[in-house]
Structure 1
């Protein structure tokens, strides 16, 4: 299959919440080809009227990068249709294999692109917030290779943003918990994000320039998962509690309708 056909397949799988077979089970696709498929898939969403609102960063744990044989982070594109109201509900039928991870979010006040230092990146930040990302691989049996993950928009499917805070707070090592129905599922720290979340934003600026898509004022950058991702199920209330910055949460409602695309 060519890139356009694969982009259509993945877009349809995400839009209809259906599983789709792997197309690169040996991992022979280049990362450049994988990102081209991602771009084409997201362009279909934009053509339908969705709006770009930012980017998400992935594999921001050094240990995860080593495990995956990577020398760099990966990234995906965010649209307004992925936003979930803080404290609100989202139907489980929107997802195939939903998991959730706690993150820190940046919102930008000016364009950011290219090779920048940490202080330069911070100067472009309007505010920071605790956040949750719902990640959802659409592949059958939850099996996939690295190129397939990238092509599938780095599994990004939803985000919840908590209260915005001043960016001059020291957010380098904030303790946090990921909670399911009020019970702590994981504990972690923002320091898990490349040693400092700001390094994730620096990486986002560099990768955005390489893709010809500079980070824009008003865009959100999700800095990456600060703990392992946790499976979520219909009826769950998922929340993050982050030192100093506050909390964010959502309810996964309904009955999951997992189907298989041909």
Structure 2
């Protein structure tokens, strides 16, 4: 099974030609470079299937890998009712986390480095062993070595967030950056569904949720991802980080904001969104 989502794997039964999918990936890459939004793919090409969208994502990831990037892990999105309601999409999606997208808690960034950024608070895992498509829920927990809080920076290369599942998946499930908190060892008997999480923006409560808001149990998001990647011809490997999904609706990533998230048992996580007139070399 291939390690990355960027190789020669091909999802079955696409609805569009490979040439079109490459062209769409090129359009999204150009939009990111120029900071000029691309028209919605679903609106221009209603024939696109979900398999097509994941293929566009694969193509884009493959270009990044050939340019020297490394797969650090994956994100699962749209796993909570709050996020599904906010986006008008009613099933999960997944994206790839590359090494240059990851920063530690306490990092700083500029909102202006993104096009339309938002932020989510998530429970995340680091795997201690491989997971394959034959896994079931009993296999997932023992594969987790560490658990921690994470902020996911969302961004879209489309004009706004009024997107379909196909648009989201093709755009790497909107994953643009990840800030990871301090990890702690994970015990398979740990009930993450009871974890209470709150996030503040400049000291004011901005969001809250529980582990059970993520498909009832964050480990179910990990199982969903394992099976999804198997259908794409790839899988999860020891050392991968996996973001299980947000426990609250996403928040605007505004300049001059200090985000802080706390949890029942997981170490707190912090992110500084710098004012536009402040210089920093510590960017996510």
Q: How many residues align?
A: 255
Q: Distance in 1 between matches of 2:185 and 2:179?
A: 18
1:154 counterpart residue number: 173
Q: C-alpha deviations, 1:76-126, integer Å up to 9, x for none? A: 111011112210112223211110011001001111011322231111111
Taking structure 2 as the reference length, the TM-score comes to: 0.84
Flag structure 2 segments of 5+ consecutive residues without an equivalent: 1-18, 278-284
Give the aligned partner of residue 20 of structure 1.
38
1:203 Cα deviation from its structure 2 partner: 0.7
CA deviation vs aligned residue, 1:52-99 (integer Å, no higher than 9, x gap): 0111001112575588464x4211111011112210112223211110
Q: Which residue of 2 aligns with 1:259?
A: none
| Partner residue, 1:241 | 262
Q: Distance in 2 between matches of 1:123 and 1:147?
A: 33
1:188 matched to 2:209 = yes
- Counterparts in 2 of 1:250 and 1:154: CA distance versus 1, 3 Å: same
Distance verdict in 2 for CA 1:123–1:184, change over 3 Å: same
Matches within 5 A, 1:107-256: 107-168=126-187, 169-255=190-276
2:28 aligned with 1:10, yes or no?
yes
How far off its partner does 1:199 sit?
0.4
* Change over 3 Å in CA distance of 1:160–1:210 after alignment to 2: same
Aligned residue in 2 for 1:260? none
Once residues 63 and 239 of structure 1 are traced to their aligned partners in structure 2, the CA distance between those partners, rounded to angstroms, is 20
Which is worse superposed, 7-16 or 80-89?
Answer: 7-16
- Alpha carbon RMSD of aligned pairs, Å? 2.0
Q: 1:187-236: CA deviations, max 9, x gaps?
A: 11111001010101111111111111110111001001111000111111
Q: 1:190 to 1:140 in 2, by over 3 A?
A: same
2:89 and 2:252 map into 1 onto residues whose CA distance is: 24
1:55–1:76 Cα contact (<8 Å) kept: yes
C-alpha distance in structure 2 between counterparts of 1:253 and 1:62, whole Å = 31
Distance 1:84 1:212, change over 3 A: same
The equivalent of 1:82 in structure 2 is 101
